């Protein structure tokens, strides 16, 4: 089987303990094939995709981060403005405050973390973070890390331990005795290990890391 292009989008949809449904969207590959059909000697350049519109300023994401992340987000978020729902710089370091800021949302969220080594990583969650009695989310959820190039770790289908929110911690991905991403109640410390949910590499250069700053972005899917 040939390797998929890096810009191929793979969307997963999951229900309880069901097998994942995989849809491969090869938009850029299709453009590449079309360019091969152009007349010989004719230059064909793919226009750059526009950067996402941010309604607030990010202290963690630059143009490179935005361009790379945007190509991996689900189609239902494409073209909608990004709004800053929570920031440790603006709102302080508190998981409780983050839950409160996201309580009214009904849209996916993008978690962005910068650690003390200035490495940027995080997660996309299909549903807002909240305190929960069990794991929630769908196969759209993924982990990512810029190290320095973007690596995206998607759902493997082995389990559905996407997100679980506790009052004193936030967990994403599990299995094999480890969490893919774990954050403490003060959003000051975290950890990242390989887990069965995503088969991810550790997102930070260290398994246990100290958070420099953290942001949570949401997508304005409607005018409401």
Q: Which residues contact 73 (CB under 8 A, 6 or more apart)?
A: 110, 124
pLDDT (0 to 100) of residue 160: 97
The helix, strand and coil proportions of the chain, stated in percent and rounded to the nearest 5, come to 15, 30, 55
pLDDT higher than threshold 80 for residue 15: no
Alpha carbon 210 to its chain centroid, in Å, reads 19
Q: What is the pLDDT of residues 135-167, one digit of tens each?
A: 999 999 999 999 999 999 999 999 999 999 999
pLDDT (0 to 100) of residue 164: 98
Predicted TM-score of the model (pTM):
0.79
Alpha carbon 109 to its chain centroid, in Å, reads 8
- State the burial class of residue 149 (Cβ atoms within 10 Å of its Cβ: 0-12, 13-18, 19+): exposed
Q: What is the pLDDT of residues 53-81, one digit of tens each?
A: 999 999 999 999 999 999 999 999 998 99
Q: Which residue has the tokens 């990512």?
A: 144
Q: Which residues contact 165 (CB under 8 A, 6 or more apart)?
A: 99, 129, 130, 131, 132, 171
How is residue 206 annotated by DSSP?
Answer: S
Can you tell me the mean pLDDT for 2-10? 47
pLDDT higher than threshold 70 for residue 213: yes
pLDDT higher than threshold 70 for residue 1: no
How is residue 177 annotated by DSSP?
Answer: T
Lowest mean pLDDT among 7-21, 47-61, 103-117, 134-148: 7-21
Q: Return the closest-CA partner of residue 156 out of 144, 142, 168.
A: 142
d(Cα 4, Cα 136) in Å, to the nearest integer? Answer: 29
Q: Return the closest-CA partner of residue 46 out of 31, 56, 60.
A: 31
> 39 versus 202: which is more confidently predicted?
202
pLDDT (0 to 100) of residue 131: 98
Are 214 and 81 within 8 A, CB to CB? Answer: no
3-state secondary structure (DSSP) of residue 33: helix
Q: How confident is the model at residue 220 (pLDDT cuts 50, 70, 90)?
A: confident
pLDDT (0 to 100) of residue 18: 40
> What value does the mean pLDDT of the chain take?
84
Are 194 and 183 within 8 A, CB to CB? Answer: no
């Amino acid at each position: 089987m040939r390797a998929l292009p890096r810009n191929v989008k793979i969307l997963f949809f999951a229900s309880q303990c069901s097998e994942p449904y995989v849809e491969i969207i090869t938009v850029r590959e299709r453009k590449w094939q079309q360019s091969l059909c152009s007349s010989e000697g004719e230059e064909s350049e793919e226009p750059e995709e526009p950067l996402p519109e941010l309604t607030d300023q990010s202290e963690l994401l630059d143009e490179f981060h935005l361009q790379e992340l945007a190509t991996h987000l689900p189609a239902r978020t494409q073209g909608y403005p990004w709004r800053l729902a929570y920031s440790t710089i603006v709102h302080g370091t508190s998981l409780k405050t983050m839950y409160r800021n996201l309580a009214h949302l009904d849209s996916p969220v993008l978690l962005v973390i910068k650690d003390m080594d200035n490495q940027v990583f995080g997660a996309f969650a299909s549903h807002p973070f909240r305190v929960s009695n069990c794991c929630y989310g769908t196969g759209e959820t993924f982990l990512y890390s810029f190290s320095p190039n973007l690596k995206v770790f998607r759902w493997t289908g082995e389990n559905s331990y996407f997100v679980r929110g506790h009052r004193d911690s936030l967990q994403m991905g599990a299995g094999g005795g480890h969490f893919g991403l774990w954050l403490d109640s003060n959003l000051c410390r975290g950890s990242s290990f390989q887990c069965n949910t995503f088969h991810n590499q550790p997102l930070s250069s260290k398994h246990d890391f100290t958070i420099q700053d953290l942001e949570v972005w949401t997508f304005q899917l409607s005018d409401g």
